[in-house]
Structure 1
Amino acid sequence: MKNNMLEELCYLHTNLSKEDVLQLQELVGNLPLIADLNKANIFVDCLTKEGKHAIVVAEAAPTTTKPVYKKSVVGKFAYEAFEPSVLYTLRTGKPAFQNRALTQEGKTVDQSVVPINGANDRVIGALIMEKDVSEQLQNQQKMEALSEATETLSEILIGLTENRPIIPEMIEESLFFIDQEGKILYCNPSAINLIQEIGENDRSIILPLVSYFPRIQAILNEPEELIIQEVEMLNKVFQVKKIKLDQFDKANGMFVIFKNITELREKEKELIVKSVAIREIHHRVKNNLQTVASLLRLQMRRGLPEESKVHFVESLNRITSIASVYEVILSNSSVDDVDIYKLLEKIGNMLVWESEHENKKIMISYSGQHLQIKSNKAVSVALVINELIQNCVKHAFKTMDEGKIDVLFEQKGNDIEVQVIDNGEGYSSKSKPSLGLDIVRMMVEHDLSGYFSIQRTDIGTLATVTFPVEREMSLS
């Protein structure tokens, strides 16, 4: 098949004789071996009838390495502007070795071309070998750029440049440039001031760096090119960076940079102390609320007038709901953020569990995102949801043995919307106003700056609370 293609292309586009074509066919049979041996793509090009350009009549890709071309180029024309070496060899009969060329697929290759001679030493074609050097060229360019940058930095820091202001003079970090023996070749003004802090008033800094700062000896001895460690010295905390400069596998020296982070670490300690204090306050508030709740439960066990019992239960639930806010805070890593999902789940489960003592089977489900809000808003949300769920438990299922409550919450643009839905008897606008709903309206409008609505549905009651998202509120 390959020989038929070669014969057809030669007769159609070249002036080669039948004997020339037969000679090329014999050579083409060996192209795969040549390609594997040289780990390169091999081509045979012939001059066209007009003599202006060449045509590829045969090719072979290596199996011993990745080929240069993804697609076959047999039948493609090779123009002089892109393949000058090929046209040079076809016209002069002289070889051309290791020339850079750009393939039709945009890859850079090393190209070698030798003539194929026929009868009477007449050039009948060119044998071309191409090796992909794109990656090698990129790596070479990167190394050249890196070497140039390293040399420039070294010259700047050693002071070999002209007498112009340089960047290290202006940075706050103490910057040293030392040679392989640790001798200081350059230090910026901040570094000089740091050395003077340890009592070295002589501005002629001639000792090795570790003589001034023995604590960094271990860092300098590490073989890694880049090391960042914290070191305590001079009653301060420093972040020490070591950057080795190697050029052509030869050590040129290293940068050592001291950054004073004492103030940062002190602020971190202050934040930790404040966080511990805040968590302790939350813990005490929660314990105090639980103590009040325990006292109410104790009073209820000792006996209450029947007309007072319901008021004690409502007060107990409100106190417990507020306590739930602080329980959720203490369960989080944050000292003042509350997960709405966890909070509403805790309150709802508590209220539904208490309803089981009245021989009612109430199911409750929750759906929504894990939104984080600050504790001051969470207390208001907890009381509002407590009243709404308690209202369902208390009024929606009076004549029913079982029921269902759905608590839905989501963020809609700049608002948080919470819905409490039940499949009970349904809300009536003619019902006597209750303290619970009055508390809800007051807290939603004044504490949360939001809106509250309650309405009857086909299956029960829908209560909706909407309030704006504050800046400190976040979605985890």
Structure 2
Amino acid sequence: MNKTELNAVNTLCKLHTDLSDEDIQKINEVVQNLELIADLNQANVFIDCQTREKKYAIVVAEAGPATAKSVYKYPVVGKFAYETFEPAVFYVFRTGKPIFLNHALTQEGKKVEQSVVPILGSNNRIIGTLIMEKDNSDKLQDQNKLQALTAVNETLSELLLGITENNPYIPEVIEESLFIIDAEQKIQYSNPAAKNLVLELCAQECKISTSFIDYFPNLEDICLLPDELVIQEVTIKNKVFQMKKISLVQNEKNNGSFIIFRDLTELREKERELTVKTVAIREIHHRVKNNLQTVASLLRLQMRRGLPEESKVHFVESLNRILSIASVYEIILSNSSIDDVEIFSLIEKIGNMLVFNEDHDSKNIIIEYSGPKLLIKSNIAVSVALVINELIQNCVKHAFTGLDEGKIIVMIHENAPMIRVLVQDNGLGYSKETTPSFGLEIVKMMIEQDLSGKFNIFGTSDGTIATVEFPLEREV
């Protein structure tokens, strides 16, 4: 694995999981051997890690074999895995027990032989799963397995073809539309949901018929496919369905098909609405960022045209406040999220702007950052940006008066559900007798009113320490 792929593992783990740095290092150790494992087993291998909520898993690394044809056409790193489609993976997460030679379907509909083993961190805690998926089509050519498969298929065919006689109530209560058609595409059975589907989609245009193709002419090519299992998404009269076709074989002869329709229309509509909403929100963020940068440009233009000396400092402070808010939207637009901001990157961007992009009367000021990469909502991030701007700006402006150099340290701590940010300098020290500046008044007001948090500032023998504590979620 190259450095870019390892960086992707780190990024995905930190954004979506609760794994510690030690756990991620363990994952990376396994990742470095993925290509070797894939080549040795002539199989595709993956590493899945559970998300913070434990409801899903995310693929953080993959490798395809150079010694065999890959099972996958497209990369899956960064995609989420759901228990409905990956039951073996979630079984291993829950029990810690490995599963070998499990028959499964890939996300692209290919049949594979899947093995899953847990990846253990400290204290034998499961931090991920190593998954191997191997194309088992060659094995299916083996005569013994083919005969066994035929026997199973025949049993299924007998069950399905006789289902209306023996257990009619089973398919009657299933919400999916079920059809059993023979080799001539004639409908031998349809459950109530299937009959309603025919009435809803075809009644006005189709004559009553026993032919499946008469009702669904655009599906004839799918019905004629020889594959034992076909899964496709189809559109019928502006509705979207997942269609599954299972060939029914008896005595090595195709006796027809078992067809299942699952209505995905509402799901796809919600996905479309979500996509439109996402695009609209990102466009709003983009316009807000552009508007803030336009205001900042106007302030810079006014400063270049000349200002009274006593007004210049106020223009600079206002400019920094505007740019700090703009930083929130720049970070949102730079990642895949539509409303989350990574607080470490936000603070780092604001701090670097104030320390490295300003003239400090030949003072040598440095700034350091530490802490986890946490995501906060944009409405909280705007208030946090203004608070951090004021605290760092206060250090730059007042802490090092008469000194040649100075150091500012910003530390982020998480103590769920609270976040604590500490800003410390090694300057002259804060005195409570000093009249609070306008900037500190802004900090106090925003922390208490906007963030429902606490603010404290005090001087020490080594400088000044300011602390800000607020909840991850804004109180309503």
Q: What TM-score results when the alignment is normalised by the length of structure 2? A: 0.63
Question: Which of 127, 145, 154 is residue 160 of structure 2 equivalent to?
Answer: 154
Pairwise CA distance, 1:203: 9.6
2:261 to 237, 240, 258: 258
C-alpha separation in 2, matches of 1:351 and 1:218: 65
Is 1:282 matched with 2:285? yes
Equivalent position of 1:48 in the other structure: none
Counterpart Cα distance in 2 of 1:369 and 1:194: 53
**Alignment deviations for residues 116-159 of structure 1 (CA, whole Å, 9 cap, x no partner):** xxxxxxxxxxxxxxxxxxxxxxx99x9799569625641553x1
Q: Residue 206 of structure 2 contacts residue 215 of structure 2 at CA under 8 Å; is this kept in 1?
A: no
Stretches of structure 2 that go unaligned for 5 or more consecutive residues are 1-144
SS state of the match for residue 220, structure 2?
helix
Q: Is residue 357 of structure 2 the alignment partner of residue 351 of structure 1?
A: no
Distance 2:204 2:193 in 1: 14
Counterpart in the other structure of 1:92: none
Could you tell me how far 1:387 is from its partner in structure 2? 0.4
CA distance in 2, matches of 1:165, 1:201: 30
Relative to structure 1, is the Cα distance of residues 201 and 453 closer, same or farther in structure 2, using a 3 angstrom cutoff?
same
Q: Is the 8 A contact 1:408 1:419 kept in 2?
A: yes
**1:325 correspondence with 2:328:** yes
Note closer, same or farther for the CA distance 1:215–1:144 as it changes in structure 2 (3 Å cut): closer
State TM-score, norm by structure 1: 0.63
Give the letter aligned to residue 420 of structure 2. Answer: E
* Equivalent pair of 1:324/1:347 in contact (CA under 8 Å): yes
> Does 2:246 correspond to 1:240?
no
Distance 2:251 2:368 in 1: 68
- Mapped partners of 2:317, 2:386: distance in 1: 11
Residue 150 of structure 2 contacts residue 249 of structure 2 at CA under 8 Å; is this kept in 1?
A: no
Partner of 2:202: 198
- Alignment of 1:409 with 2:415, yes or no, is no
Give the alignment of 1:165-180 within 5 angstroms: 165-166=169-170, 168-180=171-183
Question: How far did residue 222 of structure 1 move?
Answer: 3.4
Find the aligned partners of 1:456 and 1:249 in 2 and give their Cα distance.
87
Partner of 1:296: 299
Name 1:400's counterpart in structure 2.
403
CA distance in 2, matches of 1:392, 1:145: 79
Displacement after TM superposition at 1:343 (Å): 1.2
Would you say the 8 A contact 1:355–1:362 is kept in 2?
A: no
Alpha carbons of structure 1 residues 149 and 423: separation in structure 2 relative to 1, 3 Å: farther
Deviation for aligned residue 1:431: 2.0
SS in structure 2 at match of 1:355: coil
Between the aligned partners of 1:470 and 1:185, the Cα distance in structure 2 is 57
| 1:451 alignment counterpart | 454
Alpha-carbon displacement from aligned partner over 1:275-330 (angstroms, at most 9, x marks no partner):
22222222221111111111111121222222221111111111111111111111
1:304 aligned counterpart, secondary structure:
coil
Query: Match for 2:202: what amino acid?
Result: I
Contact 2:412 2:420 survives alignment (8 Å): yes
C-alpha distance in 1, partners of 2:335/2:408? 27
Within 2, Cα distance between the matches of 1:229 and 1:145? 26
Aligned residues: 332
Check 1:470–1:249 CA distance in 2 against 1; reply closer, same or farther (3 A cut). farther
Corresponding position: 1:430 with 2:436:
no
Aligned equivalents of 2:395, 2:165: Cα separation in 1: 83
| Partner amino acid, structure 2, of 1:255 | F
SS state at 1:377 partner = helix
Aligned residue in 1 for 2:367: 364
Query: Is the contact made by 1:155 and 1:161 (CA closer than 8 Å) also made in structure 2?
Result: no
Quick one: distance in 2 between partners of 1:156 and 1:343? Answer: 65
Structure 2 match to 1:378: 381
Secondary structure of the residue that 2:166 maps to in structure 1? coil
Aligned to 1:316: 319
Contact 1:215 1:231 (8 Å CA) reproduced: no
Secondary structure at the counterpart of residue 428 of structure 2: coil
Which is greater in Rg?
1
AA paired with 2:165?
L
Deviation at 1:246, TM superposition (A): 4.7
Q: Which segments of 5 or more consecutive residues in structure 1 lack a partner in the other structure?
A: 1-138
How far off its partner does 1:271 sit?
2.0
The 1-side partners of 2:461 and 2:289 are apart by: 40
Contact 2:248 2:256 in 1 (8 A): yes
Find the residue that maps to 1:408 and give its secondary structure.
strand
Q: Which amino acid aligns with 1:333?
A: S
- Distance in 2, matches of 1:156 and 1:452, equals 74
Q: Which secondary structure does the structure 2 equivalent of 1:160 belong to?
A: helix
Structure-2 separation of matches of 1:220 and 1:336: 45
CA–CA distance in 2 between the matches of 1:368 and 1:248? 67
Note the 1:82-231 alignment, pairs <5 A. 146=152, 150=156, 153-155=159-161, 157=163, 159-161=164-166, 165-166=169-170, 168-196=171-199, 197-199=201-203, 205-207=209-211, 209-231=212-234
**In structure 1, what is the Cα distance between the partners aligned to 2:334 and 2:320?**
21
Partner of 1:25: none
Deviation digits for residues 188-243 of structure 1 (CA, Å, limit 9, x no counterpart):
11211222331379997522x23321222332333433332211221222221222
The answer to whether the 8 Å contact 1:355/1:393 transfers is no
Cα 1:182/1:430, change in 2 over 3 Å: same
